[in-house]
Chain A
Amino acid sequence: MIYLDNAATSWPKPPAVADAVTRFLRDVGASPGRSGHRLANEAERVRFDCRAALAELFNVRDPLRAVFMLNATAALNFVIHGLLEPGDHVVTTGMEHNATMRPLRAAEKRGVELSIVACGPDGTLNVDQLRDRLRPTTRLCVVNHASNVCGTILPIREIGALTRARGVPLLVDAAQTAGTLPIDMAADQIDLLAFTGHKSLLGPTGTGGLALADEFDPARLPPLMQGGTGSKSEHETQPEVLPDKYEPGTPNIMGLAGLLAGLEYINEHGRAAIRTHEEELTAQLIDGLRRIAGVRVLGTLDARRQTAAVSFTLADMAPGQVAQQFDEHFGIMCRPGLHCAPRAHRTLGTLPAGTVRLAPGPFTTREDIAQVCAAVARLAAGGAHG
């Protein structure tokens, strides 16, 4: 089997990830933040080490500014609905996932004004066009770091310089990039970073969260949810102190044990080395696909300017059909359709049918990519089965 759906969920995971989850459930098991016994303390150590590893990865000085939520979607909702009030203006791009677009559309319904900066047909963004859309009432700019459809990387450092200069908080959706591309929240001037654990951070599903820059004042962001934290328990109002302010309820601590193992794998092997490996596979994939008649590859067609998510269409065959043939006859797992990103597909000109997305990961090999290209060539030549 060849698994090329890493942009949805990375798999396989490093063996240490499953081991850490199993070990946690078997030997620790308790809730962090409550009770104070040795197992609860051990659970809190796991969670703290996970925060510290993330803070280091994103260059945040204070590890308690890495707060955990269900995934990047939860973090994006937390910020969009927590920060924006009726009459506020928010700017985003034409390449966003529905994890951003749907909360923004919901915010619009309650009186928030939304501007969507158009992107090029390859998914690239002209920062001058973003600058033109900022207003005195702009209270948030939210952009993806890289497209989940075609991998196109947005210039977050350039965007950060602009938004910081204008005093507009910048929220970056790093679902596709955390763990592979460099993210330096200080140098990139990112105020808030939504990350997920189950993609390039190599952790289990149900892990992720929000990183707050050292400069960002948490008083600006009310907590969207309230609940028990194990701290300030005599009060019936949510504590203001981080991380508890944004972490009500018992967390997915066994998932965080796995995420910590994923982060340790990245540290051990090197984020840059993983990125280089994926970039090479992406270049091989783009090159191989472009040689096949009837194939159209989306995006910049340059592996250096994108993540390892390659979208293509095949003349005369619907994306869903390609994916079915892949699965049934070639053992290739991919994701067809709209990838929860209709706005991005509109920009790329691939509505309504969508594309086939192939997303290699750290454990994909050059041989896998060669086999996938051969399979596409067979389908393109009419070698499909019924």
Chain B
Amino acid sequence: MAEFAVILVHTTSHAIQAERVLKRADLTVKLVPTPRHLSSDCGSAVRILAGEQEAAQEALTVVGLEIDRIELLD
């Protein structure tokens, strides 16, 4: 089972907005460099706990934050 997932975003502004929103929702969040095997528009990605993926997605949808995708980290 993967421990972490990463949210890939379009810009670092999106990454910071995601960080702010997820922290407010009491989720575990950390800004990380985009893992090299994942292609992304942005050099920064938002790492979350794999188990909190659904909660994170919901929190981001509520504020209308557009993300690229979420990938599990092996």
Contacts and interface: CB of A to CB of B under 8 A. Distances in A.
A33 B43 CA distance: 9
Q: Which range holds the interface residue count of chain B?
A: 10 to 19
B17 A231 contact: no
B16 A230 contact: no
Contact of A36 (B11, B14, B43, B64): B43
B contact face: mostly helix, strand, loop, or mixed? mixed
Interface residues of A, number: 26
A36 B42 CA distance: 10
Given A41-B44, A61-B64, A231-B41, A33 B33 contact: no
A342 B25 CA distance: 53
Given A48-B20, A62-B64, A243 B13 contact: yes
A290 to B, nearest CB: 49
B11 A244 contact: yes
Contacts of B32: 36
Contacts of A230: 11-12, 42-43
A64 B44 contact: no
A61 B66 CA distance: 13
B44 to A, nearest CB: 5
Interface string B32-53: 1100000001111000000000
* Best-buried of A36, A52, A230 by chain B (most CB within 10 Å): A36
A231 B42 contact: yes
A239 interface: yes
B27 interface: no
Contacts of B14: 64
A57 B42 CA distance: 28
A3 to B, nearest CB: 35
B64 A51 contact: no
Contact of B44 (A36, A48, A239): A36
A51 B20 CA distance: 13
Nearest to B42: A231
Given A36-B31, A61-B64, A51 B13 contact: yes
A249 B6 CA distance: 27
Contacts of A45: 16, 19-20
Interface of B: 10-17, 19-20, 31-33, 41-44, 64
Given A230-B43, A231-B12, 5 more contacts: A36-B31, A41-B16, A229-B11, A239-B11, A239-B41
26 contacts: A32-B12, A33-B11, A33-B12, A33-B13, A34-B43, A35-B43, A36-B12, A36-B31, A36-B43, A41-B16, A41-B44, A44-B12, A45-B19, A47-B16, A48-B16, A52-B20, A63-B17, A230-B11, A230-B42, A231-B12, A231-B43, A232-B10, A233-B43, A239-B10, A239-B11, A241-B41
